[in-house]
Amino acid sequence: MVLPRIICAISGGVDSAVAALLLKRKGYHVLGIFMRNWDVRDEIGHCTVDEDVKYAKRVCSVLNIPFREVNLVKEYWSNVFMPTIEEYENGNTPNPDVLCNRHIKFDSLHKKCHRLFGDDNFIVATGHYAQTTFGERVLKENMQLEFEQQLLMSVDKNKDQTFFLHEVALKALLHTYFPVGHLHKTEVKEIAASSEVDFTLERKESMGICFIGKRNFSDFIQDYVPPKKGSFVCYETGRIMGEHSGYYKYTIGQRTGIGGLSDAYAVLHRDVVSGNVYVVHGMDHPALYCQSFITNPARWISGVPDSIKNGESFKCKFRFLHREPLVECEVIPFQDDGRLLVILQEPQRAITVGQNAVFYSGDQCLGGGRIDDLGPSTLECQERGQLNFTTFRKNPDRWRRLVNNYGEKLCPFPKSGLVYNSQATNKC
């Protein structure tokens, strides 16, 4: 049996550097590859890609492993950047990191490696904090597509990145290894500090997206989305609270900072037709909370769960933001095309269309789906038997039918004495 070639994706940061170091220490022959995903000619002084490649080359040099740069700018532009801009323009909140992992790091890079070597006998190692069921076995065996590789959370739950990896295809996972997934971040730094890649600790940890860089998000987005001024509108009274220069600069649940007002107002909805941004008074308003939503067709990493195949619901845990606590939920097959109705055990704040609902069973990341429509808010469930749906909901009739079917399970009515009194507390 011919052992697979081992390619380590080197970003110039400490995690990928230690990943390559650990592979080297175990005696593996490693090729370092740097992915150029963004063309600095598209920006002026905002992207660190040139600095990244210098550090990546230095990592490979001190570890005495070959270095190669691959250009994935076109693929990144088409599959990550433009879809992200389009989503913001449509009033949604996408996650570019999820798109980048699915389309670039675990698809385009793998295809590039196939073209370089003429076959699929290779493994791509990355510095992600994640694990798989086969672990290091993929470096020593030829993995077959029928093998059931599972994506598992890393040992360091605070750094776990399975949320961003939940759309990666099974075939790619069978050709992937995560050398630092069994370590805590502090251990990775300790390994780096006592090794020849200690210089990577000089760099600040990357927390953003290359094409945004160090800029404020609103400064970035206005360069790509046509300006559309509008009003801040009080959700409950319709009163005009102020003006803004673009709805796409705001995210659901964000404090608006309306000029001249000292009280806090949170974004509830962005109307892409009128350009208006609907707001509520206070950061904990019940209109910001909901307990159910519908997803687009889900992607399951290790195959569709048996319950879903049989048209049955199953219980698991869910999150829609990285590092947010996992929440108990029930996942119900909604349509034959793979859409899901998700009912949470407790209402969650600022769930947003366009974000990713990611499902877990124990330490296993099952997969997920993009949130497409939100169920009734806590405010809309205030009065038993009466759902006063908002005009911006996609399909109010569908939700009325679902509430009739699932009752308080989907729309829990508040206990006596806890009903929100808009007359007493509203300050719009």
Instruction: Check whether residue 162 and residue 244 sit in a common domain.
Output: no
Q: Are 189 and 241 in a shared domain?
A: no
Q: Which two tokens stand for residue 236?
A: 């409950």
- Whether 195 is in a domain gets the answer yes
Residues 35-74: b if buried by 16+ CB within 10 A, e if exposed: bbbbeeeebeebbbbeebbebbbbbbebbebebeebebbe
Asked whether residue 152 is domain-assigned, the answer is: yes
Supply the angle between the helices 14-25 and 185-193 in degrees, to the nearest 10.
Answer: 70
Annotate 28-45 with DSSP letters as a single string.
--EEEEEEE-S-GGGSSS
Q: What is the pLDDT of residues 339-394, one digit of tens each?
A: 999 999 999 999 999 999 999 999 999 999 999 999 988 888 876 555 666 667 77
Q: Say if residue 378 is in the same domain as residue 277.
A: no
- Burial class of 77 by CB neighbour count within 10 A (0 to 12, 13 to 18, 19+): middle
Does residue 416 lie in a domain region?
no
Query: Which residue is associated with the tokens 């992915």?
Result: 35
pLDDT average, residue stretch 92-118:
93
Specify the pairing of strand 30-36 against strand 5-9. Answer: parallel
Structural domain includes residue 369: yes
Are 33 and 100 members of one domain?
A: yes
Q: Which position among 210, 234, 290, 381 bears the catalytic label?
A: 210
Q: Answer yes or no: is 216 within a domain.
A: no
Catalytic, out of 8, 47, 100, 234 = 100
Q: What distance in Å separates the CA atoms of residue 310 and residue 70, rounded to the nearest whole number?
A: 44
Most distant pair of Cα atoms in the chain: their distance: 75
| pLDDT tens-digit readout, 138-194 | 888 776 665 678 999 999 999 999 999 999 999 999 999 999 999 999 999 999 999
Q: Domain containing 11: what range?
A: 5-202
- Same-domain check for residues 257 and 293: no
CB neighbour class for 382 (10 Å; exposed up to 12, middle 13-18, buried from 19): buried
CATH number for the domain that contains residue 116: 3.40.50.620
pLDDT in tens, 80-104: 999 999 998 888 888 999 999 999 9
Number of compact structural domains in the chain:
3
Answer yes or no: do 192 and 129 share one domain.
Answer: yes
- For residues 261 and 384, state if they share a domain: no
Whether residues 355 and 300 share a domain: the answer is yes
Q: What is the mean pLDDT of the chain?
A: 88
Domain for residue 320, yes or no?
Answer: yes
| Mean pLDDT value of segment 253-273 | 90
In this structure, the answer to whether residues 25 and 117 fall within a common structural domain is: yes
CA 197 and chain centroid, separation:
29
Residues 293 and 274 in one domain: no
| Percent of the chain at pLDDT exceeding 70 | 87
Residues 371 and 270 reside in one and the same domain: no
Q: Are residues 90 and 188 in the same domain?
A: yes
Answer whether residue 418 shows pLDDT above 50.
no
210 counts as catalytic:
yes
CA 138 to chain centre: 26
Helix, strand, coil distribution of the chain in percent, nearest 5: 30, 25, 45
Here the CATH number for the domain that contains residue 240 is 2.30.30.280
pLDDT at 44 over 60: no
